[in-house]
Amino acid sequence: MATTANPTRDDFAKMLDETLGSEADGGFEGRVVKGTVTAIENGMAVIDVGLKSEGRVRLSEFGRNGEEGELSVGDEVEVFVDRVENADGEAMLSRDRARREAAWDRLESEFGEGKRVEGQIFGRVKGGFTVDLDGAVAFLPGSQVDIRPVRDIAPLMGIPQPFQVLKMDRRRGNIVVSRRAVLEETRAEQRNELIGNLEEGQVIEGVVKNITDYGAFVDLGGIDGLLHVTDMSYKRVNHPNEVVNIGDTVTVQIVRINQDTQRISLGMKQLESDPWDGVGAKYPVGAKLSGVVTNITEYGAFVELEAGIEGLVHVSEMSWTKKNVHPGKIVSTSQEVEVIVLEVDADKRRISLGLKQAQSNPWDDFAEKHPVGSTVTGEVKNATEFGLFIGLPGDVDGMVHMSDIAWGISGEDALALHRKGEEVEAVVLDVDVEKERISLGMKQLEKGAPAVGGTPSTTGLKRGDVVTVTVLEVRDGGLEVQVGEDGATGFIKRSDLGRDRDEQRPDRFQTGQKIDAMVTGFDRTKKPNFSIKARQISEEKQAVEQYGSSDSGASLGDILGEALKKQS
């Protein structure tokens, strides 16, 4: 029988109703409350939270991963009140909801403070994985699992580990976490600690982790350094795998540490003696050496003289005769060649080499074997608007200027007489070894042509001689003339046809006409130049000297007239 000092459950509920009214039951719903386990039966825990009736919660809600939790009668637990009373008159309670609400409260606090949280990966969903944060379920994107892509995540499943909360939305029930952020932060801490123990110039061992086209990444015990391809060896390295392989243990020197970016540059060649030390003494200018072609570019070829020492043969120094061709058409990679040292710059680590200088100069050879005046035979290789290029012995070319092709016709007509591929004879007129030029003449081989390379006296003419010449051809620029029937031929320029402008008209002369002219000089082929004007001036001067100055009162015409009478 109930008493005031010892009320029954019904008495307690009645007093609660009287005290709180209809809001008492509603005040419990949606809250986490403490209750006592009063019984355990059929995998369910009966819990009294102080309502009119008790509620039941599955034991699996008190365990992890679907396993039943260990509870005993009398244990005090926290549960979430979904409803005060269901259709059966029992309170609807949830341990999962209670844990979730408690977890959200804790996570919001830790997220605000930027703390890491602990959880377990327990499932896979589209785009990532689910993580149990002690009751709250979070999403772990696939890109946030690790620093590098993970092929098999099985070893990480169900293991308590730290995560970083990236964002939370309690209203929508969304939580996004990252394992990668924790690893990067831990790695950064380790890097700072490791870098603090390293210094430039230090020699250390490491393991090659990865190889790229530009170098190799070496693990120095938790931190990576880059061994650039140019720091692997003093000799040319085309690809890093020529020197190292993944998994190799290598000894390297710390070349540089960038504290801002925490990048470490490594070197292997720095542990070797520098082959460029004393390079000037080893390779003096003018020395003839043997080397191997290691690389060919548009501008030349690199030749290795010894391991770590390469010189450049510029394209202009590759051949005496082959101009404007790609170096690959002259030499090939791995070919052994002889070169001459042209220049050494030890500070810039550059050696200029010459390939053609190690061979005889074909222009010198030609000049020695074919002196001026000698006759050569060659093939017409090309015809231009100003002359013919003839292929000559020694793989050199000579040029016949259009004016030296034939007598008695214009240069344009003379060019039309010959075609590419035709074999012709010519006389060597001049060889300029420095400019690599050979001048040839073809008309000099014709009958009556002056001897090439001789002196004016050998032709029977000298400067200042007045001779009678026959007009061979009348041109706009002057007259082509010949001394006698088979003598030397020469030219009278238009301006040399007379002192007066009216006399300087070539059309007043006719082919076959004989005229007197003075020899004024010889061109590079020893061909004489004539002048009527010079002859006239010379005759006037002689007349003045012989018959008196014009100051005597006699006119120049009188003096010349008197001179002509005496000559007749």
Structure tokens at 10: 């019904």
**Higher pLDDT among residues 221 and 244, named by residue:** 244
Print the SS3 string covering 53-76: CCEEEEHHHHCCCCCCCCCCCCCE
Structure tokens at 508: 């007043």
Give me the helix-helix angle, 556-567 and 532-547, nearest 10°: 90
Report the Cα 55 to chain-centroid distance in Å: 78
**Which residues neighbour 156 within 8 Å (Cβ) at sequence distance 6 or greater?**
121, 145, 150, 179
Residue listed under structure tokens 């060659």 = 378
Distances (CA, A) of 463 to 364, 487, 534: 33, 16, 11
Nearest to 401, CA basis, from 364, 444, 367, 448: 444
- Residue 181 CB-density burial (10 A; 0-12 exposed, 13-18 middle, 19+ buried): middle
- Between the two ends of the chain, the Cα-to-Cα distance in Å is 187
Protein fold of 114-184: OB fold (Dihydrolipoamide Acetyltransferase, E2P) (2.40.50)
CATH number belonging to the domain at 457-547, selected among 3.40.50.12780, 2.30.30.100, 3.40.50.1470, 2.40.50.140: 2.40.50.140
What average pLDDT does the segment 19-44 reach?
67
**Domain 198-271 architecture:** Beta Barrel (2.40)
- Assign 5 to helix, strand or coil: coil
In the numeric block, which tokens belong to residue 230?
């140019």
Tell me: the pLDDT tens digits for 97-110? 777 777 787 888 88
**Domain ranges in the chain?**
20-99, 114-184, 198-271, 292-358, 362-445, 457-547
Sequence-separated (6 or more) residues with CB below 8 Å from residue 438: 363, 366, 392, 396, 397, 398, 399, 428, 430, 431, 432
> Residue 123: which of 140, 107, 135 has the closest Cα?
140
Give the pLDDT of residue 377.
92
pLDDT of 459-476, one tens digit each? Answer: 567 888 889 999 888 888
* Mean pLDDT calculated for residue range 62-69: 63
Q: What are phi and psi of 392, to 5 degrees?
A: -120, 165
CA distance 476 to 115: 103
Which CATH entry fits the domain spanning 20-99: 3.40.395.10, 3.40.50.720, 3.60.20.10, 2.40.50.140? 2.40.50.140
Q: What's residue 109's pLDDT? A: 81
pLDDT at 2: 46
| β-pair type (309-314, 350-354) | parallel
| Predicted local distance difference test score (pLDDT) of residue 414 | 82
Per-residue DSSP letter, 374 = -
Q: Is the pLDDT of residue 536 over 60?
A: yes
CATH of domain 362-445: 2.40.50.140
Closest to 429 measured CA to CA, from 349, 508, 477, 372: 372
Q: What proportion of the chain, given as a percentage, has pLDDT over 70? A: 85
Checking phi first, is residue 363 left (phi over 0); if not, alpha (psi -120 to 50) or beta? alpha
Name the phi and psi angles at 236, rounded to 5.
-70, 130
Give the mean model confidence (pLDDT) for residues 387-413.
85
From CA 480, how far away is CA 488, in angstroms rounded? 11
Domains 198-271 and 362-445 share a fold: yes
Count Cβ neighbours within 10 Å for each residue of 215-237 and write b for 16 or more, e otherwise: bbbbebeebbbbbbbebbbbbeb
Helices marked H in 177-240:
180-196
Under the banding of pLDDT at 50, 70 and 90, the label for residue 376 is: very high
15: pLDDT confidence band, cut at 50, 70 and 90?
A: low
Q: Which residues contact 102 (CB under 8 A, 6 or more apart)?
A: 32, 78, 135
Give the model confidence (pLDDT) of 45-57 as tens digits: 787 877 777 778 7
Q: Which helix (H) or strand (E) holds 106?
A: helix 95-113
Q: Would residue 324 be called left, alpha or beta, if left means φ above 0 and alpha means ψ between -120 and 50 degrees?
A: left
Assess contact for 290 and 338: CB atoms under 8 A: yes
Averaged pLDDT, 157-166: 91
Please state, in angstroms and rounded to a whole number, the distance separating the CA atoms of residues 265 and 261: 12
Mean of per-residue pLDDT scores for the chain: 82
Structure tokens at 49: 């939270």
- For residues 61 and 44, give the distance between their C-alpha atoms in angstroms, rounded to a whole number: 10
Q: pTM of the entire structure?
A: 0.45
Contacts 24+ apart (CB under 8 A), 418-424: 418/380, 418/383, 418/388, 419/380, 419/383, 420/380, 420/381, 420/382, 420/383, 421/379, 421/380, 422/379, 422/380, 423/377, 423/378, 423/379, 423/380, 424/377, 424/378, 424/379, 424/380, 424/388, 424/390
CA 61/CA 43 separation, integer angstroms? 10
Whether 244 contacts 196, CB under 8 Å: no
pLDDT at 454 (0 to 100): 45
Please return the burial class of 336, using the count of CB atoms within 10 Å of its CB with bins 0-12, 13-18 and 19+.
exposed
- pLDDT of 20 over the 50 cut: no
| Residue 311: predicted pLDDT | 92
Structural contact between residues 354 and 365, judged by C-beta atoms closer than 8 angstroms: no
Confidence class of residue 302 from pLDDT cuts 50, 70 and 90? very high
CATH 1.10.40.30: does it fit domain 292-358? no
Q: Do residues 23 and 8 touch, judged by C-beta distance below 8 A?
A: no
